[in-house]
Structure formats: C-alpha cells, structure tokens
Structure 1
Amino acid sequence: MPAPRDLRCLLLDADGNLFPSEAPAFAASADVTNRFLASLGVRATYTPERLLATATGQTFRTTAADLARAHGVTVAPGVLDDWVAEEKKVVSAYLGRVLRPDPGVLGPLRRLAGRFRLAAVSSSALSRLDECFRAAGLSDLIPPEARFSAEDSLPAPAGKPDPAIYRYAAEQVGVPAGRALAVEDSLPGARSAVAAGIVTVGNLTFVPPQDRPERRRRLAEAGVAEVVESWDELAAMLLGLDPEG
C-alpha cells in the first residue's frame, strides 16, 4: 500500500460506501425490475433482498440484461434504454427523500479533504448521484465535476467490475494510478479498482455486522490492501489520527 505521503487523490465508491443507499435503492428498483420483466412476458419476480444479494455494485442496465438473458429473452437496446431511464428516475427520487447526512461519514471526510483530493467513482447514474450527495450533505466535499459514473461518464456504459470507470476517473483527475487510493465496499467495485491498477481499501461502514467477516474475507480475495470498519478508521490510517478522537 502506498505511504500516505505519496497519495494525492482518494477515489471513493458512492453507494453503500459514502451513504447507505443500497437497501433503499433496491427497494425502489425491485418494482421497476419486476415491471421490466413483466413487459417481456417473464412471470418471475424479484424481492429487494434477492436483488441486493445478487446485483450489488452493478448498474441496472447490466442487471436487467442479465435477468432477461437468464429467462431466455433478448432485449432491444432502445427498450433497455427506456427502462434504464425509468429506474434512474424512480430510484433517484426515492433516495433523495430517504437519505440523511451521517456525522460518521462527514467528519472523517472533511479531515481527509484537507489532505487529499476527493472524487467519487460509481456505477450509478449522475442524476442519482446528484440526489444522493445532496441528501447526504456531501455536495460541497465532492462536487459534480468530481463525480464519475460508469453509466454516464464513459463513451459506452461499462459497469463495475469492468475497470474502465476507474481508469477514466484517474485520467480525468490527472493522478497516476500509483498516487491514488480507491475505497470500496462491494466485490465488483473492489475488482474494478484493483484491475485498474489502483491500490484499494475495503470499507465495511454500512455492511451489517453479521455480514462483515464474510465480506472482509471476500474483499481480501478480490485484492484489497486493507479493510477498515469505519471512515474514522480510514482517516486514522491515512492521517495518523486517533480513530476515537
């Protein structure tokens, strides 16, 4: 892992990492997913919990195409685009209503922002990120120009674990991969960052306690350099602070 003095930028996953958006997002997305499948003549339905367990870290575009394929249906690109737009609208509006600022994120991030450049690297659409950052009180720390979306920022959407979005983000912020550190909570996200050649820390802040040992093990298998339990622990690691103070 690079020494903190060598780091210039922190590339931060958003959902499930900067704010606890994954459970509410999948609650809203499940309704859209089931309507999408019904429109294709697929009778199977998916609960938010089932989607969360199988699709965390992926874009809706990838999940929808995978589910359609699993049920033997091919989706025309234009049709998929319409459903991606519908899911984006529904989930963004819901997250904007339910997310709240979290002192356990804001405090450490403000300390880190005093030393490092911060950028968000996400599979989510930029409009969804706008709603989440506003609701979570993070807009001033990571403004729109420092947010990069696998759905919207690339020439063609390429969700994690594809490394394209991390490579693109590092290029846009002008920081070599060896001078950046990624922070990820999900396995697809960790694989994306590691494949892009960026040292990665796993973050368990919003992972339920009962799931943490398994997530820690799998993040290590994905190639992360360290795993932290909180943003305070990460700040202590990078700034030499007492995590309790």
Structure 2
Amino acid sequence: MAKITTLLLDCDNTLVLSEKLAFAACADLANHILQKHNLHPNYTGESLMTEFVGQNFRGMLLSLCQKHNLHIPEDELAGYVSSEEDAVIAKLNASLEPCEGVHDALKEMDGKYTLAVVSSSAGRRLKASLVKTNMQDYFGDRVYSAATSLPTPTSKPDPAIYNFAAQQLGKKPEECVAFEDSKSGTLSAVRAGIPVIGYVGSYDEDEREKMTALLKENGAKIVMQHWSEFDGAMQTIEKAKLLVAEGRLFRSARLGMRTSPALFRKLTLYPSDDASVSDRETLRHDVGIKTVMDLRTKSEHVKQAKKREVDLKIPALVRSNDALAEPMEIPGLEYCNININGKGFERTLLWRLSFWNIFKVLILMLFGYRMEAISILGREVMKPRGLIGLGYDTIDYCGAELATALREFASSPRYPILVHCTQGKDRTGLIICLLLLLLDVPIDAVTYDYTLSEAGLLPEKEERMVEIREIGLTEEFASAPGEWIGKMNEYLGEKYGGTREYLGGIGVDEGVQARIVEALLG
C-alpha cells in the first residue's frame, strides 16, 4: 500500500495570510482596467475575494472580462498581470504574516515528508511570500505556480498544476496529500486524484463553519480549524491505511471506472464485462483478484448484455476492442452475483407508490418494459427519499442480501475480493462501510475512503448522468456526499444499537464477524 511521502501545500491563506492584502491590490487594478473601457463596477477586495479566492489574477481578470463582455488582447493582459504582481508583492513585503501555528506544523513535517508549494499565484509572489515569512528553507525549489510554472498558464480548479507538481517530484497521487483553503484549490487537487485536508483558520470565525462545509462538499476529507490539528489530521489518514491488510479488499464502479483498494490507494482497473484483454490480465495476475462480487440488479445485467449485443454488430468497434471477443466473465475468477437491492427493497419502493402508479409499474414489468417501470419508481419514490433515505431503506429491507454478501468475506480463500456495482459508492459503499465499521475503523477514515469515489467518478459523470436522468433521478445521485457515511453510522446506532448488533440481527453472528475480521486483517 502506498505510503504518504509528500505534502503539497497551497500558499495564500494556507501558509500565509495574503488573500486580503492581495485582493485589495487586485481590486484597485481591476477597477482601473475596467474604467479604461468605460465600465464602473467599483469592486472591493472583499467582493473579489468572495468570488475568486483560490484563483490567480489572470484567471480572475479573464472571468471579469467574460462577465462584462470585454476583450483584452494577450499582450495587454500580460502587462496587467505583471503590474498586479508588482502591486501585490509590495503589499506583501510591507505587511504579510504567516498563518497562526504554521511554523510549528512545518517543523513537524520537515524531515518526515517531502514538502512543496502548489499554488495558482505567480512564482515571484510565492517567493516573496515565503521569504517574508521565513519559510523558504522548508521548500527549496519545490515551488510550483499555475501562473508561471506551466507551459500554458492556468489557474485552479484546473488540476494541471497538481499533475505537474507530482510529475516533477516523481510521486503518484496516492503518495501525496494536499492542503487547501478554497473551493477551487480543493477541486484542483481532487481532480488530480490527490486527497485534500482543508484549512479554514485564515477565515473569520463567523465564516469557518460555512467554509468547512464548502470544502467537504467539494472533496476535502478532513478540515482543520488551526495548524495545531495537523498531526491529528495526518494520523486519521495514516492510521486508516493500516487497518486492512494490503491487497485484500478492492471496491469499484462498473467497468471502466476507477478501482480503490479499501483503504486507500487508487488504480484504474476494469472489473468485468468490458475490460480489455490487458486489463483482464492486470486484474488476474498483477492485482491477483480471486473473487469478483457483483451487486448489480437483474435490470443492470440485462442492460449491459444488450449493450454488448449492439457493440458486437459494429465492425469498427469489434476491431478496436479485443475484449468483445472475450466472455463477459473473466476466466479464472470466481464470480459472486448478489442483487443487494432485492425483492424486499423492490416491494418497499413499490408500496410507497400511489395505487395507479403501482398498477402502471406492474403492467410495464409484465410486458418487459423494465426500465420504464423503474423510472416511475425513480421519480415518485427514490428521488424524494434521496441517497441517505435509500441507504436507510437498504439497511432496513435488504438484511438477507447484505448478510449473504458479508458472509463471503469470512472465507480467506476468497481473497483478494473486488466488490462492485454500477457506481461503486451506494451498494458497494454500504458493504465496505459495514466491513470497516466492524474493524472499528474511525468514522472519519471510513468517510475518507467513501469520498474517494467522488474524484474517481468525475471523468464519467456526464455519461452516468444520462443513465441517472433516464430513471427520473437528479445529479445528487451521481455524488458521494461526505455526510453519507456518518448518517449510516448514526442510523445503525440509533435503530439497531450499533454495527455488530445490526449484523447479528440479520444473521451474521459473532463467530462469522470474528472470521471476517481475521480474514480482512490477513
């Protein structure tokens, strides 16, 4: 399992209290530029900071130009960017202060991790900030700017600067942790596949709760209020990596989506149906998967089979995809197909419909229009229940299916096991959640593992949204919200007395639980 070796730190308002100083200078210059073009918006540093925190001046100015339908030639833009650097650096040299407690945290990091600055701000400004606050020795030349380090200047939330920094340092994303104070910075790291620890200590007290929620919503796994929390935040991540023996348990979305060992390393694999020949070999021989646990419904399997039939009739696709000549199931692997949302779940959804809609669903199912029937359930029941409500329903009404799946983890010869469904975050997420809670993994760590799905699913989001809308659901159902794990844990405690008590109630007795723990620990 990859060890965390590298910490990538944003600079502005993460290491140094620079944003208010910088945005004051930005506001003066932005107003001057716009006034030259007969525009008089009268921006303040505070108003620009609210909208553009985490972005550099180039990105901010381009956004303002778009907003005001203004075109500025590239050479003129470059001149403004240079002027802004000079004005900001002058303010930083006069008044810049470090974030409270950051020097103590840096001393703790130094020697244990490779440290680097990864920022949207220009290189000259970063150097001035580090020199002014006596931090330059911690980072050396490992300072990467989206504005000046890349061949083409950009700004967060573009992940390019994080990708570039990891490449320059010779690190994989799973070896790194990013520290960010803004939405754009958090998204930048998440989109590069790098876990994020948020920091809100630079915000006013009345803003911290809102910013904590915003950072978590956009992928931060843990949010620190003060740099004194650094050690605890890192322990949550590092400790979690030790709780499941390496290479025992993997989770995945459907074919073509990212597979995550629980906990926490990520790699790209393809669990079954559409995997290329080379991916199948990787799955069998490099990763050593022995068992594939497929949690999808009959409808999902039928839909996948129909898609394959269509693909086989397209000669160009057959020529370009050698996997189409292979069987759906990968030879040599054992398959365990368990429809987690089985009859009990289906009946529960059905009886929540009006009498007329129950009749329509039954008729549609009778005549083979399964997806049309499911779309009625989606619009009328699943959408109002939401992800959290459906999670509760799975716990309450799918006990037999969950027990069947969980008993498979008590058998050591089954391992390594790959668990997957369609998105790898709801049904698969609940199975992994129950296993990790059984191991007494800290809830923050379980949440961290679950929310890794968010970044892994982003590249396929538009494709998934087509399928999600097809059954009457909204974008919420494509997300992996950070509060989901906590809500499931609370529900298990409040209604059943805890995870172990729930498992005992559905037929996974203490003996089986003990064998699951032993098998997972390897």
TM-score range, shorter chain: over 0.9
Mapped partners of 1:188, 1:235: distance in 2: 25
Residue 20 of structure 2 aligns with an amino acid whose one-letter code is: A
Relative contact order, higher structure (CA 8 A, sep 6+): 1
Mapped partners of 2:33, 2:145: distance in 1: 23
Equivalent position to 1:146, from 103, 125, 142: 142
Equivalent position to 2:176, from 168, 174, 180: 180
Determine the structure 1 residue equivalent to 2:207: 211
Determine the structure 1 residue equivalent to 2:29: 32
Identity of aligned residues (%): 36
Asked if residue 121 in structure 1 is aligned to residue 118 in structure 2, the reply is yes
Mapped partners of 1:118, 1:235: distance in 2: 15
> Is the 8 Å Cα contact of residues 15 and 98 (structure 2) preserved in structure 1?
no
4+ residue runs of structure 1 moved beyond 2 angstroms? 100-103, 235-240
> Is the 8 Å Cα contact of residues 203 and 228 (structure 1) preserved in structure 2?
yes
Asked if residue 231 in structure 1 is aligned to residue 227 in structure 2, the reply is yes
> Is the 8 Å Cα contact of residues 185 and 203 (structure 1) preserved in structure 2?
yes
Determine the structure 1 residue equivalent to 2:164: 168
> Is the 8 Å Cα contact of residues 178 and 195 (structure 2) preserved in structure 1?
yes
Superposed displacement of residue 137, structure 1 = 1.3
The count of corresponding residues between Structure 1 and Structure 2 is: 236
Determine the structure 2 residue equivalent to 1:61: 58
Mapped partners of 1:37, 1:146: distance in 2: 36
> Is the 8 Å Cα contact of residues 123 and 150 (structure 1) preserved in structure 2?
yes
Equivalent position to 1:198, from 185, 194, 201: 194
Residue 126 of structure 2 aligns with an amino acid whose one-letter code is: L
> Is the 8 Å Cα contact of residues 112 and 235 (structure 1) preserved in structure 2?
no
RMSD: 1.5
> Is the 8 Å Cα contact of residues 176 and 195 (structure 2) preserved in structure 1?
yes
Residue 106 of structure 1 aligns with an amino acid whose one-letter code is: H
Determine the structure 1 residue equivalent to 2:67: 70
Superposed displacement of residue 102, structure 1 = 5.4
Q: Any gaps of 5 or more consecutive residues in structure 1?
A: 241-245
Residues 115-144 of structure 1: per-residue CA shift (max 9 Å, x gap): 11100000000100111111111111122x
Determine the structure 2 residue equivalent to 1:14: 11
Superposed displacement of residue 8, structure 1 = 0.5
Residue 36 of structure 2 aligns with an amino acid whose one-letter code is: S
> Is the 8 Å Cα contact of residues 109 and 231 (structure 1) preserved in structure 2?
no
> Is the 8 Å Cα contact of residues 166 and 193 (structure 1) preserved in structure 2?
yes
> Is the 8 Å Cα contact of residues 173 and 194 (structure 2) preserved in structure 1?
yes
Superposed displacement of residue 101, structure 1 = 4.5
Mapped partners of 1:108, 1:136: distance in 2: 14
Q: In the superposition, relative to structure 1, how do residues 101 and 23 fare at CA in structure 2: closer, same or farther (>3 Å)?
A: closer
Residues 89-136 of structure 1: per-residue CA shift (max 9 Å, x gap): 110121111113556110111111121110000000010011111111
Mapped partners of 1:152, 1:99: distance in 2: 22
Determine the structure 1 residue equivalent to 2:44: 47
Residues 142-188 of structure 1: per-residue CA shift (max 9 Å, x gap): 22x11000000001011000000000001111111000000000000
**Which SS does the other structure have where 1:225 is aligned?**
strand
**Which SS does the other structure have where 1:214 is aligned?**
helix
Determine the structure 1 residue equivalent to 2:97: 100
Q: In the superposition, relative to structure 1, how do residues 103 and 64 fare at CA in structure 2: closer, same or farther (>3 Å)?
A: closer
Mapped partners of 2:182, 2:9: distance in 1: 12
- Normalising by structure 1, we get a TM-score of 0.92
Mapped partners of 2:133, 2:201: distance in 1: 15
Residue 234 of structure 1 aligns with an amino acid whose one-letter code is: F
Residues 17-60 of structure 1: per-residue CA shift (max 9 Å, x gap): 00110011111221111111122221222011111111101111
> Is the 8 Å Cα contact of residues 17 and 99 (structure 2) preserved in structure 1?
no
Shifted more, 13-22 versus 70-79: the winner is 70-79
Determine the structure 2 residue equivalent to 1:243: none
> Is the 8 Å Cα contact of residues 93 and 131 (structure 1) preserved in structure 2?
no
Determine the structure 2 residue equivalent to 1:222: 218
Determine the structure 1 residue equivalent to 2:464: none
Q: Which entry has the higher C-alpha Rg, 1 or 2?
A: 2
Q: In the superposition, relative to structure 1, how do residues 224 and 100 fare at CA in structure 2: closer, same or farther (>3 Å)?
A: closer
Mapped partners of 1:236, 1:110: distance in 2: 15
Superposed displacement of residue 235, structure 1 = 2.5
Mapped partners of 2:218, 2:235: distance in 1: 25
> Is the 8 Å Cα contact of residues 13 and 99 (structure 2) preserved in structure 1?
no
Mapped partners of 1:146, 1:42: distance in 2: 40
Mapped partners of 1:18, 1:193: distance in 2: 17
